[in-house]
Amino acid sequence: METMKPPMEVLYEKELEALRANDTGAKPPNWLLSPKAVRDFILGTPKPLKLNGESVTISKKFYGDDVMIERSVVALAGNRGLMLVGEPGTAKTMLSELLSAAISGTSTNTIQGTAGTTEDMIKYSWNYAMLLDKGPTYEALVPSPLYTGMKKGIITRFEEITRCPFEVQDVLISILSDKVMNIPELADGILFAKPGFNIIATANIRDKGVNEMSSALKRRFNFETIFPINHVKMEAQIIEAQSRNILQQSGIDIELNQEIIEILATTFLELRTGQTREGYKIDTPQTVMSTAEAVSVYVQSAMTAHFYDDKAISLERLVQNMLGAVAKENHKDINVLKTYFSKVVKERAKDAGLWEAYYNEKKWIR
């Protein structure tokens, strides 16, 4: 069955099969792959692997700190949870999905943290019709992702944990410490976690202070910070790879323009860091100029050109779709983009080429 966003274990099914078939490393209890193979799944391998006589390329899926990936895998093999923190759009969720798919074979056992998340959503709830009919029984119990993770010995992902109230977050303290969940409504209500269970949580740095985690809960996690990409070529690689996947999933088979991708990556990196490649300081918008946002801009621009212009992406469509990304937090940020074009892009346009064409689309910034 086709889905709009296949889970990682489906999207990279053949790669995972090839890694399992060739994996000779020691595996922690209930892991599908060894830590080395998990790392290879995320960072790629230099040579293809053989699977039933076929060569399977293990692609690089995460661009950033390779050593951080190794630390994250080792943390999950131990008795502490893994907390991924960083700016929005730095691939925290994607990394947690990749880790879960490689280790447990599923990335969908997930709790989405919000201001409305309750303790029932994290631990368990009840089928109240059965509860009234038969009383508290295991049949009437409705398992949560955390309950499922403990019972099956698989990873539970907890997205945006700091969006949850303090009392809901602190439910995790005893579970991470003792790997036990008490169910007082049942006579024998103790759930012991199977080997392989752990928690990967994510939190945005910009959400700091929303519901700050307690010190006790922080001590139960290994923290890893994912920093924004700071290299144009690397950012362009990510934009190209992810845009290609999204467009293909949307049924759009068009050629990607690497020159336009590099201009987009350069613009986002410079507006994010507040510094041009020539070393000049520039203003930055309030919105997060993340790589994920750049991917969205490219995909939207390509789709707009495809459906309305019946052609590949153009710089005109790129600038038009960039406006919504820049002005997401404050419409006054359009002035930041306008200044960037008036100074930085205008100077580069003197050398003609694509930067001149890019500058000519400044008319859409208003």
216 and 240 inside one domain: no
127, part of any domain: yes
pLDDT in tens, 239-265: 999 999 899 888 888 889 999 999 999
Q: Region 5-12: what's the mean pLDDT?
A: 92
52, part of any domain: no
pLDDT in tens, 142-191: 999 999 999 999 999 999 999 999 888 999 999 999 999 999 999 888 99
22, part of any domain: no
216 and 75 inside one domain: yes
Check residue 254 and give its pLDDT.
Answer: 87
- The pTM of the full predicted model, rounded to 2 decimals, is 0.88
> Can you tell me the distance from the alpha carbon of 340 to that of 78, in angstroms, rounded to the nearest whole number?
48
Domain count of the fold of the chain: 2
* CB neighbourhood size of 284 (10 A): 16
203 and 154 inside one domain: yes
- The residues, any chain, with a CB within 8 Å of residue 352's CB and separated by 6 or more, are none
Percent of the residues in the chain that have a pLDDT greater than 90, as a whole number: 80
Residue 200 near residue 90 (C-beta atoms within 8 A): no
16, part of any domain: no
Domain final position from 226, 248, 279: 226
| pLDDT tier for residue 301 given thresholds of 50, 70 and 90 | very high
205 and 255 inside one domain: no
11, part of any domain: no
Q: Which domain holds residue 206?
A: 62-226
Decide: residue 264, CB within 10 A, 0-12 exposed, 13-18 middle, 19+ buried. Answer: buried
Q: With 90 as the cut, is the pLDDT of residue 3 above it?
A: no
137 and 264 inside one domain: no
Q: With 60 as the cut, is the pLDDT of residue 136 above it?
A: yes
146 and 236 inside one domain: no
Which helix (H) or strand (E) segment is 199 a member of?
strand 198-204
Which of helix, strand or coil describes residue 253?
coil
10, part of any domain: no
216 and 270 inside one domain: no
Domain final position from 199, 226, 253: 226
What CATH number has the domain bearing residue 216?
3.40.50.300
